[in-house]
Structure 1
Amino acid sequence: ADEILNLLETHIKTQNMSGNESQNERHIQNSKPDSLADLEPRFPKSGGGGLEITPEPKRMPEGTFPLGMVLDACPDLIDYSKGGIANWRDFLASVAVVRPMLGISPSAWEEAMGIMGEVQASIVVAAILQRGEAISSAGGYLRGLTRRAEAGEFSLGPMLMALIGSRKRDKKRA
Structure 2
Amino acid sequence: MSRRASLVLLNTFSLTRLPLALLFVWLESPLARVLLVVIAALTDFLDGWIARHKHLESYWGALIDPLADRAFVMVALFTFMVEGRLTPLAFGVLVVRDVATGLAFIVTRMVPRLRPVRFQARMLGKVVTTLQLAALLAVLLAPGLVVPLVVAVGLMSLASVVDYAAVVWRSAARLSAGGARLPSSSRRRVA
TM-score (norm 2): 0.28
Higher relative contact order (CA 8 A, sep 6+): 2
Q: Which has the larger radius of gyration?
A: 1
TM-score (norm 1): 0.30
Q: Between Structure 1 and Structure 2, which shows a larger proportion of helix residues? A: 2
